[in-house]
Structure 1
Amino acid sequence: MAPQVREVMTLGPVTVAPDTPVREVARVMRDRNVGAVLVMDGGRLRGLVTDRDLTVRILADDGDAAERPVAEACSPDVVCVAPEDDMDRAVQLMRGKALRRLPVVDDGQPVGIVTLSDVAAERDPTCVLARIGGDE
C-alpha cells in the first residue's frame, strides 16, 4: 500500500499575497531556499508561482518587471492533493499534468507541498533527485 501524502510532503509551504511585488517574491524564494510559493488571497489558495514562472511570465516581458504583482505570474489553476490521499494519486496527478509540485490542502488551507524530490526520496532514497532534496 502506498504511503499517504502527509508522510512524504514538505511541511510549511511559503505563501505570499497576490499583490506582492515579484521582486519581493524572488527574495523570499532566495531567503527561504524554495523554488515555489503559494499565492493566498483572503485565506484562499489563488495560485502557485515558481522561479521559472517569474522568469518566463514576468522578466521576459518589457517594462518594470520588479514591481509587477505576483498574481500576474502565478498559475491560477492549482491542482492540489489532501494529506490523506495516497502517494499513487499524487504521482498520477504529477505525471498526467506534468507538474513538479503539488500543494497539499487540508480543510481549504495549505499545509504542505509535494515535490518531485519528495516523490523520488519516497520511491528510491538512493536516486540523485532524492539526494538533492528540497524544493526544486
Structure 2
Amino acid sequence: MKCVKHIVQNKSNAIYSVNPDTSVLDALQVMMDKNISALLVMEGPELMGIFTERDYARKIILVGKSSKETPIADVMTSRLETVDMKTSIDQCMQIMTTRHIRHLPVVEDAKVAGMISIGDLVKFVIEDQKQTIEQLQTYISS
C-alpha cells in the first residue's frame, strides 16, 4: 500500500514554521522567501495550527485587518487535520477533498515530521501510474 512515508522520504526534510506571536506580515515574508503557500504555527515542538494563503485572503484582506499588527495566532487555522507516515495516499486525498484543504501536516510520535500538499499527492500518483504503465508494457512485450 502506498502511504505518506513514500512521499515524505523523497521530499526535503525542511519544516517551515513560525510561532503564534509572529505577525502576519512576517509570516508572509517567510512564505515568499521559501516559495510556499502554507506555514506551520508551532510553539517549540508543539503544533498549534497552520497559516495558508487562503487564511490570509479570508481573515486579513477581506476583513480589513493589518498584516503588520495581527499575530498569526489570531488568524491561523487551529482545527488541524493531521496524518502519520502510515496514512494511505487514498486517505490523504479523501481528507483533502472532504475538508477542502490543500496541506496536511505529518505527525509521527507526537512530533511534526513534515507536510504534504495536494501537489505532492498528484505528483506521486502520476509517477506511480507511469511506473505501472511501464511495468505492464514490459510484461506485454516479453
Structure-1-length-normalised TM-score: 0.83
Alignment of 1:29-44 (within 5 A): 29-44=31-46
Task: Name the residue aligned to 2:116.
Answer: 114
Alignment of 1:1-136 (within 5 A): 1=1, 3-9=2-8, 10=11, 11-125=13-127
Deviation at 1:34, TM superposition (A): 0.4
| Separation (CA, whole Å) in 1 of partners of 2:107 and 2:23 | 25
- Tell me, what secondary structure is at the counterpart of 2:69? coil
Structure-2-length-normalised TM-score: 0.80
Alignment-mate amino acid for residue 72 of structure 2: V
Q: Identity of paired residues, percent? A: 30
Deviation at 1:63, TM superposition (A): 4.8
Task: Name the residue aligned to 1:129.
Answer: none
Contact (CA 8 Å) 1:21, 1:67: kept in 2 or not? yes
Q: Name the structure where helix makes up a greater proportion of residues.
A: 2
Contact (CA 8 Å) 1:12, 1:111: kept in 2 or not? no
Contact (CA 8 Å) 1:47, 1:75: kept in 2 or not? yes
- Tell me, what secondary structure is at the counterpart of 1:67? coil
Return the structure number with greater relative CO, CA threshold 8 A, min gap 6.
Answer: 1
Query: Paired residues, what number?
Result: 125
- Tell me, what secondary structure is at the counterpart of 1:8? helix
Q: 1:63 to 1:77 in 2, by over 3 A?
A: closer
Query: What are the superposed Cα offsets for residues 62-90 of structure 1, whole Å, 9 maximum, x if unpaired?
Result: 35332210111111100000012221221
Alignment-mate amino acid for residue 73 of structure 2: A
Contact (CA 8 Å) 2:51, 2:75: kept in 1 or not? yes
User: Which one has the largest radius of gyration?
Assistant: 2
Q: 1:25 to 1:88 in 2, by over 3 A?
A: same
Deviation at 1:13, TM superposition (A): 2.5
* Structure 2 alignment gaps of length 5 or more: 128-142
Q: Which runs of 4+ in 1 moved over 4 A?
A: none
